[in-house]
Amino acid sequence: EYKEIATPSRTKEILKKHGFSFKKSLGQNFLTEPNILRKIVETAGIDTHTNVVEVGPGIGALTEQLAKNAAQVLAFEIDDRLIPVLEETMSPYQNVTVVHNDVLKADLVGTTKEVFKEERPIKVVANLPYYITTPIMMHFLESDLDVQEMIVMMQKEVADRISAKPGTKAYGSLSIAVQYFMEASIAFIVPKTVFIPQPNVDSAIIKLTKRDKPAVEVTNEKEFFKLTKASFQLRRKTLWNNLIHYYGKDDETKAWLTQSLSEAEIDPSRRGETLSLEEFGRLSNTLEKNR
Ligand code: SAM
């Protein structure tokens, strides 16, 4: 009788056979609940027309479910000790390619071109290593890889920040960096009890869907992201304080900021966390025009 990798008994068997010990420094918390994995695959809408990129397959719990549904799966795993384990656990699945590499150092466009036999919509599905959730998200968003959807598990607290709306406590430059490119929503919460070892916090599955075009039209993307980061540097200070802290306190800079804020019709005494993407876009474009 075949037991899925994610069942607690099979997971323990695999770990024991290979003498595997978890490395906290690599964010290794393995999922041991097949129902949650199925729910992830369902949420992601994976079918035989989809190619999937996975980050951190571990012993292959999620990879197996993806392989059963997707056209092809490409998985990046950093831990060399897991490569022989995956070779064994993934042997029934011809459509899985494991690449032994740090995903942050991987050439995503090149590797996907090499591995995927046919050009199909690409989805990123992963139970992310929590210590580098944000860098991984940014690595995908900033790459030229055309990712249609990302369905990823992360700490609930980070998922809250990514999907936050203006005016809420969780809203910040990360919300904007992601929501500029993708529509973000939390699909469901995952309790910490379904992992071994158990993490300290609950997790959430976040679903990001690529927008046809960015959420706002900006004339200079780099400067737009600099502005949004600058606006949240000093959390309890006004937008004005944040802007002069970042751009400079000299008269010329202050005049440029005052003029641009006024033209963009944004009150400098507001706080960064109250500005919508649209307002940040308007302010950024006005600043660029008046530079
Ligand atoms: N997918 C498995 C599961 O759901 O049970 C394991 C998820 S575990 C939270 C994170 C995985 O990411 C681990 O296998 C870890 O070794 C791997 N990992 C950590 N840092 C990585 C990196 N920079 N690049 C690729 N994989 C990484």
pLDDT of residue 103: 98
The predicted model gives 103-123 an average pLDDT of: 98
Instruction: State percent of the chain over pLDDT 90.
Output: 99
**Does residue 213 carry a pLDDT above 80?**
yes
Mutate to test the pocket of ligand 1, among 5, 10, 26 (most ligand atoms within 8 A of CB): 26
Q: Is 153 in the pocket of ligand 1 (CB under 6 A)?
A: no
The predicted model gives 133-157 an average pLDDT of: 96
The predicted model gives 33-43 an average pLDDT of: 97
What b/e string do you get for 157-181 counting C-beta neighbours within 10 Å, with b at 16 or more? ebbbbbbbebeeebbbbbbbbbbbb
Note if the pTM is more than 0.90. yes
ipTM surpasses cut 0.95: yes
Counting from 1 in the atom list of ligand 1, the atom nearest the Cα of 23 is 16
pLDDT of residue 1: 76
The predicted model gives 108-133 an average pLDDT of: 97
Counting from 1 in the atom list of ligand 1, the atom nearest the Cα of 106 is 24
| Six token digits for residue 287 | 């600043």
Q: What CA–CA distance (Å, rounded) separates 270 from 246?
A: 16
**Does residue 165 carry a pLDDT above 90?**
yes
The predicted model gives 161-178 an average pLDDT of: 96
Residue whose token pair is 């990823």: 152
pLDDT of residue 2: 85
Q: Is 191 exposed, middle or buried (0-12, 13-18, 19+ CB in 10 A)?
A: exposed
Banded pLDDT at 141 (limits 50, 70, 90)? very high
The predicted model gives 153-171 an average pLDDT of: 97
Handedness of CA 129, 134, 137, 142 (dihedral sign): negative
Instruction: State percent of the chain over pLDDT 70.
Output: 100
Counting from 1 in the atom list of ligand 1, the atom nearest the Cα of 32 is 5
Mean pLDDT score across all residues of the chain = 97
| Six token digits for residue 158 | 């980070």
pLDDT of residue 235: 82
**Does residue 142 carry a pLDDT above 80?**
yes
**Does residue 284 carry a pLDDT above 80?**
yes
Banded pLDDT at 16 (limits 50, 70, 90)? very high
Q: Is 255 in the pocket of ligand 1 (CB under 6 A)?
A: no
pLDDT of residue 164: 98
Q: Is 81 in the pocket of ligand 1 (CB under 6 A)?
A: no
242: enclosing H helix or E strand? helix 239-247
The predicted model gives 238-243 an average pLDDT of: 98
pLDDT of residue 57: 98
Number of Cβ within 10 Å of residue 291's Cβ equals 9
pLDDT of residue 172: 95
Tell whether omega for the bond before 197 is within 30 degrees of 0, i.e. cis. yes
The residues pairing with 223 across neighbouring beta strands, listed in sequence order, are: none
